[in-house]
Amino acid sequence: MSPALPTRRQDIEAVRVLAAFGIVWFHAHAPQLALGYAGLVVFLVLSVWLSAGSRQGWAAVRQRARRLLLPWALWFVVYGWYVHTLRLPVVDTRHGLLAGVLAGSNIHLWYLPFMFAVLLLADGLRRLLPARGLALGAGLLATALALAIPLWRPHTLGSFYPLRQWADAALPVSYGLMLLGAGALTPAQRTAALAVPVLAAALMAPLESFGLTSALGLGVCAWLARRPAPAPGGWSVQWLSDLCMGIYLVHILVLEALLLRTPLRGALLAVAVFAVSALLVAGGRALAPRWRGWWS
C-alpha cells in the first residue's frame, strides 16, 4: 500500500481523466447524474492528495497562485464577457459582492480560489501536525461529515453559490488530507482510515443521494491508495491527464456556446463536449506553450 504522495502513477492519472469526464457528464445533464458528480469528489480528493511538494513558505504560495489564481482571473474575464453578451450579470451580488466574486462569472470557477485556500491550509497543517495526527484527525472529520450528510446537505442545497459547493467539497477535502498523512499510520489504522468514511457515506446513501456520490468517489480513491504502484513504463495517459484542468475550465463555454446548438444530448453531448474541449486545450497549448500555465 502506498498512501503517501504518488508521483505520476498512470492509474491515478487515468482516474483523474475519468473524474474530469464525470464533471463534464454532470454539466451536460447526461443520465445518472450521481455518477457524474462523483467525478467532482474524486477531483477534489486527488487535488489535495497530490498537492504535497518540495516548496515551502512563500515559494509554495506563489506556485499555487500561479497554478490556480492566474487561470481563475483570466477565465473570470472570459466567462464574464460571455455572460455579458447574454445580458446577464457578470457577478451575482444577491448574497454579497464577495460571494459573487468567489462564485465566479460562471459557477464552475468556484473551484480555483477554493482550492487555493484549501492547499494553503493543507500546507499549514502539514507543518503544524505530525503526519499521523493529520491522518487520524482528517479521517475522523471525513467520517463525521459522511454520517451527517442527511443533516447538513438539505440545508446547504437551499443556500447560495458558492456555499453549497464548499459544503459538498468538505468531505472529499477531508479525505484528501487523510491520504496526505496516511503513510504514517499502522496497516490496521490505514485500512480503517480508508474504509470507514466510505462505509459511512454508503450507509447514508438511502437517505441522501450525496451519500452514494461520496461513497463512489471516495471508494475509487481508497482503491487507488490500496493498490500497489504500477511498474514504470507501459501504458500512459499523461498526455490527456495534463489537459484535465484546461478541459475543466473551457468545457462550459464549449457546452453552452457551441454544442447546445446541436441536436446532441445526453451521453453523446457529454462525449462531444469532452472531446472538443480536449482538442481546444491541446491546440492552444501547442500554439502558445509559453502561456499554458496562465489558462490551463
43-86 pLDDT, tens digit each: 999 999 998 765 667 888 898 999 999 999 999 999 999 999 99
pTM of the model: 0.93
Backbone angles phi, psi at 249, to 5 degrees: -75, -40
pLDDT tens, residue by residue, 227-281: 988 877 778 999 999 999 999 999 999 999 888 888 999 999 999 999 999 999 9
Q: How far apart are CA 277 and CA 61, in angstroms?
A: 29
* Residue 295 domain-assigned (yes or no): no
The grid cell for 78 is 472570459
**CA torsion, ordered 153, 167, 255, 245, to nearest 10 deg:** -150
**Is the residue at 251 inside a domain?**
no
Total of domains in the chain: 1
Based on C-alpha coordinates, what's the Rg of the chain? 19
* Residue 267 in domain: no
On whether the CB atoms of residues 235 and 181 are closer than 8 A, the answer is: no
Domain that holds residue 43: 10-243
In a domain, 156, yes or no: yes
> DSSP letters along 96-111, please?
-HHHHHHH-SSGGGGH
Mean pLDDT confidence for 88-106: 91
Q: Is residue 275 part of a domain?
A: no
pLDDT at residue number 114 = 97
Burial of 196: CB neighbours in 10 Å, binned 0-12, 13-18, 19+:
middle
Residue 254 near residue 108, CB atoms below 8 Å: no
pLDDT in tens, 161-205: 899 999 999 999 999 999 999 999 999 999 999 999 999 999 999
Q: Is 291 part of a structural domain of the chain?
A: no
**Does 151 fall in a domain?**
yes
Distance CA 182, CA 261 (A): 47
Name the nearest CA neighbour of 276 among 250, 295, 242: 250
**Alpha-carbon gap, residue 207 to 214, rounded angstroms:** 13
Give domain status of residue 159, yes or no. yes
